[in-house]
Amino acid sequence: MNIAEFGAWIAPQLERLGGDTGVYVKNLITGETFARGENVPVVAASVIKIPVMIEAFRAARAGEIDLEEIHALRDEERLPSCGTLKAMHTGIEMTLMDLIRLMIIVSDNAATNIMIRRVGMDQVNRTLRSLGLEKTTLNRLLFDREASKKGICNYITAGEMGLLLEKLWRGEVVSPEADAQMMEILLDQRLNGKLPFFIDSMGIDVAHKTGEDDGISHDVGVIFAREPIVCCFVGEHVDVPLYERLMQDAAKALCEE
């Protein structure tokens, strides 16, 4: 299905679904694009981990950090929900690269906060602005209950995630080598119930990152169809099962000839 056909197919479904949704789809070869609600900020959930990874690679290239640096897990760093570090023993040693991989491929929240503290929240945002992202913002650590009570959240938009992923695919974010390494990490994603759900059996890879919370579901990535496609779905105040089924069907439709 080409992008024009895709837009005609998905627009009424998004209308029926309701909620606050943003969709950005672009064929990276032809430049054809479908966008709807792509500039509306939504709560980022775990998709904010992509900018954290990018800042870590930028800082490493600048000589500000060493990705082989060892970090020993402290008891107070454990966080609930996604990831594996909460089950590991205090003092377990990992490199910063290990933490980045855990942050992306199993969406480890403890690893994310360790990396945010290591690279700096303000620097993550400066790097985002330098890449042309104006609304995507890291405002707080994950599971910061005091900040959450004050209404402080992290934000993304579908369009800005699409821009970021296209730059990453083109090798225009940190360096061609670093960007290729980050794409490989995204390709190793283990949470594959959304965009890859149907197309994995078609032999089509997706370099992506998911995010979810109450009434929130996102998946943003590059689908390596015959012609690579940036595909970003973000949703807030949505019926999560229905929206996730729409993501699954949309990815399949994009990959069908």
Mean pLDDT of the chain: 96
Per CATH, the number for 3-255 is 3.40.710.10
- Model confidence, pTM: 0.97
DSSP label of 89: P
pLDDT, tens digit (0-9, with 9 covering 90-100), for 226-237: 999 999 999 999
What's residue 18's pLDDT?
92
What's residue 160's pLDDT?
98
Q: Is 217 left (phi over 0), alpha (psi -120 to 50) or beta?
A: beta
What's residue 149's pLDDT?
87
Predicted confidence band of residue 80 (pLDDT cuts 50, 70, 90): confident
Asked whether the predicted pLDDT for residue 257 surpasses 80, the reply is no
What's residue 41's pLDDT?
97
Q: Which of 74-88, 115-129, 146-160 has the lowest mean pLDDT?
A: 74-88
Average pLDDT over residues 138-153: 92
Q: Measuring CA to CA, which residue among 174, 257, 182 is closest to residue 221?
A: 182
Asked whether the predicted pLDDT for residue 81 surpasses 90, the reply is no
Predicted confidence band of residue 148 (pLDDT cuts 50, 70, 90): confident
pLDDT, tens digit (0-9, with 9 covering 90-100), for 176-205: 999 999 999 999 999 999 999 999 999 999
| DSSP secondary structure, 37-74, as one string | STT--EE-GGGGHHHHHHHHHHHHHTTS--TT-EEEPP
**Separation CA 136–CA 193 (nearest Å):** 24
Average pLDDT over residues 144-157: 92
Average pLDDT over residues 117-125: 98
Predicted confidence band of residue 142 (pLDDT cuts 50, 70, 90): very high
